[in-house]
A and B are shown apart, each in its own frame.
Chain A
Amino acid sequence: MSTTTPAATRLPTSRHLADRLGDRILIGLTFAASLAAVLVMGLLIYKLIDGASSSISTFGFGFLWHSTWNPATSPGVANANIFGAGTLIFGTVVTSGISLLIAVPLGVAIGVYLSLLAPGRVGAVIGPLVELLAAIPSVILGLWGILVLAPVMHSTIEPALHDVLGFIPIFGAPSATGLGVFTAGVVLAIMVLPIIASISRDLFLSVPRELKDGALALGATRWEMIRGVVLDSTRAGLAAATILGLSRALGEAIAVTQLMGAGSLVGANLFNNGDSLASRLAEQVTNAQTSQQLAALFFCAVVLLGMELVVNLAAQLIVHRFERRQGVAH
């Protein structure tokens, strides 16, 4: 026994050791990285609430509907350092709403075209082009909005809407520059569009072929098949797609800052200037004059974070319920 070569017995053990050590190290490293991601997410929520704490304790829930925003360094001013995000939340909701009103019908229609109508090769070109729209940075869409879209809005679209629909207060007197809540909503729609289009295309492609063929075999026209089978069976998914689009629109700061014209939305006229939670952050964080103002800005971010969490969880819930129902059906 003692004459067996040492290498024959020792080599396997050393290899085993290296293997086990290597496994441990790799598991440890990958787990540490994953843990770090969870910690960053937790730290993000903590840091934002921590930064806002003085503002939260001063203004409480009233912050959500009060509309004063009065950063002041001299103590004599009335309402000095009173902050509320009412108009900002309003601006965020209105711009996001405009963008969804435009992007959802358009995006679903594009999804229908790409998944059911387009000839294979045409769809293979147009699909990626629509997705490429999502790759354009918001700052460039904002620049384009200021210098190309806003003049057109000012000279043509806003007066036309005012002339035809002027009896509705939201289409009031056109703006002086073309910048305003409406223009910001239109550019947001361009950002939301590719999200909704690509999700709805994937949804429509997932509808079983037999169902579509069955409807056509029963004599339904293509549109009747789309309305009765495709759109009907993907309602939940379309709702989730809309919510994901909303999530994108709520948090967009840069293009909205460039296009809203900075100023609080007064009254219903969509052609007026406005401000949103995200755009107020973009404008004021680096030149906040007092610690109260900075805390109020952190509070805005907490409100935005809360909105995003609710919206994302709602989308996940819808998808989850939908998947469960599908699971039962099959």
Chain B
Amino acid sequence: MSMSALDPASPLTSAGGNLRRRRRVDLLMRGIATAAAAVAVAILAIVIVSVASKGASQLSISFLTKDPVQGLGTVGGGIASAIVGSALIVAVATAMALPMGVLIAIYLTEFSKPRTARPIRLALDLLNGMPSIVIALFVYGLLVKGHQQTGFAAAFALAIIMIPLLARTTQEMLLLVPRELRDASHALGISRWRTIVGIVLPGALGGILTGMVLAIARAAGETAPMLLLCSIFSTSTTVNVFGTALPNIPYIIFQDSESGFPADYARAWGAALVLIAFILVGNLTARAMLARKRRLMSR
């Protein structure tokens, strides 16, 4: 312990050799901690500036409205069909995951007993810590092996990734709804389901939507499920989620980053800029909403 190094006989006010050394160490360590924070912010800035500067030269109306061109290293083309495909896959995933996440959160906060809550919490924790490539392989074994890749398979994997996130934020928001509101509702003789549907859920709605935005931002960038479940596609726009694999942005970035041709790198930067802009806007709005919600609720 550092305290034992103190010599009780020496007055603390005089800057003797020992104290000067201690102050120097103190200054050095505080400097290191500050520098570490600066490094993290610098990394974020460098990554975002790289994507923005290299992607911006790609971005044009035709990049956003044309379909990708066939063949590695081919110049031109856009990512229109990939934007449509990604949006569809994430929408289907959200349509599956949102009700599931909200229902699980309601069960855990309103109905469950400790004995039933424990296995559910454990399952959610394990799913949350599961690498997305493992979830992707599970869905591959379940839906794709022996059949073919579909947009739905990718959406299913994304839903499994989103459920624990949605359940957790919804739970947090349900717990923020004041106990007194529930008690008052019960005291008026209103049944539990009417209390939950009519009072608790509307009170938590803003928070649940925030959680949804965060989960969508997370799912939109997931690449491992796309690689295994939705990577063999024709580059034209299609909305057939259940029948075929759909072109999607994460896989386009992955494929073009591996190809080695400058034209592909350029397209990858452009697609990365579109994706990162979407994700950052989603994250920042969600954070602002969440901060406001917490402030209002805790008042």
Contact = CB atoms under 8 A, between A and B. Distances in A.
Interface of A: 19-20, 22-23, 25-27, 29-34, 36-38, 40-44, 47-48, 50-51, 105-106, 109-110, 112-114, 117-118, 126, 128-130, 132-133, 135-144, 146-148, 190, 193-194, 197, 215, 218-224, 226-228, 232, 244, 247, 250-254, 258, 278, 281-282, 285-286, 294, 297-298, 301, 304-305, 308-309, 312, 316
B246 to A, nearest CB: 15
B36 interface: yes
The main secondary structure of chain A at its interface with chain B is helix
Contacts, number: 268
Interface of B: 1-3, 6, 12, 22-23, 25-26, 28-30, 32-37, 39-41, 43-44, 46-48, 50-51, 54, 99-100, 103-104, 106-108, 110-112, 116, 119-120, 123-127, 129-135, 137-138, 140-142, 145, 149, 160, 163-164, 167, 191-194, 196-197, 217-218, 220-224, 227-228, 231-232, 250, 253-254, 257-258, 265, 268-269, 272, 275-276, 279-280, 283, 287
A262 to B, nearest CB: 9
Contacts of B149: 286
B124 A37 contact: yes
Given A36-B100, A37-B123, A223-B25, A258 B129 contact: no
**Nearest 3 CB-CB pairings of A with B:** A251-B131, A137-B221, A19-B191
Contact of A223 (B29, B54, B130, B133): B29
Nearest to B160: A40
Contacts of A36: 100
B104 A37 contact: yes
Contacts of B193: 19, 22-23, 25-26
A26 B37 CA distance: 47
Contacts of B164: 37
B37 A34 contact: no
Contacts of B35: 109
Nearest to A190: B43
B223 A221 contact: no
A254 B28 CA distance: 38
Given A22-B191, A29-B103, A139-B221, A253 B133 contact: yes
B131 A224 contact: no
Contact of A286 (B126, B191, B228): B228
Contacts of A304: 131, 133-134
Contacts of A252: 131
A152 to B, nearest CB: 11
B224 A253 contact: yes
Contact of A254 (B3, B50, B129, B224): B224
The main secondary structure of chain B at its interface with chain A is helix
Contacts of A37: 100, 104, 120, 123-124, 127, 163-164, 167
A147 B30 CA distance: 34
A249 B197 CA distance: 40
Contacts of B276: 136-137, 140
A140 B34 contact: no
A285 B276 CA distance: 27
A105 B35 CA distance: 12
Given A140-B276, A254-B223, A228 B1 contact: yes
Given A30-B104, A148-B50, A254-B254, A41 B39 contact: no
B257 A146 contact: yes
A275 to B, nearest CB: 13
B35 to A, nearest CB: 8
A81 B116 CA distance: 45
B280 A135 contact: yes
B30 A34 contact: no
Given A223-B30, A281-B133, A19 B120 contact: no
A176 to B, nearest CB: 13
A194 B258 CA distance: 27
B51 A309 contact: no
Given A34-B107, A136-B276, A228-B2, A197 B25 contact: no
A227 B5 CA distance: 13
A226 B141 contact: no
A144 B53 CA distance: 12
Which of A26, A29, A147, A282 is packed against the most chain B CB atoms within 10 Å? A26
A218 B3 CA distance: 8
A285 B140 contact: yes
Contact of A130 (B3, B41, B107, B258): B41
A227 B192 CA distance: 51
B141 A298 contact: yes
B37 A130 contact: yes
Given A33-B100, A223-B30, A278-B131, A135 B254 contact: no
B124 to A, nearest CB: 6
B228 A144 contact: no
A137 B223 contact: yes
Contact of B37 (A47, A118, A222, A250): A118
A247 B129 contact: yes
Contacts of B253: 139-140, 143
Given A30-B103, A117-B33, A133-B40, A224 B141 contact: no
B216 to A, nearest CB: 12
B250 A312 contact: no
Nearest to B288: A128
B178 to A, nearest CB: 21
Contact of B275 (A105, A140, A194): A140
Contacts of B100: 33, 36-37
23 contacts: A26-B197, A27-B111, A47-B138, A109-B37, A112-B33, A113-B33, A117-B34, A130-B41, A132-B280, A133-B44, A135-B217, A135-B218, A197-B40, A224-B22, A226-B29, A250-B131, A251-B131, A253-B224, A254-B224, A258-B254, A286-B149, A305-B130, A308-B130
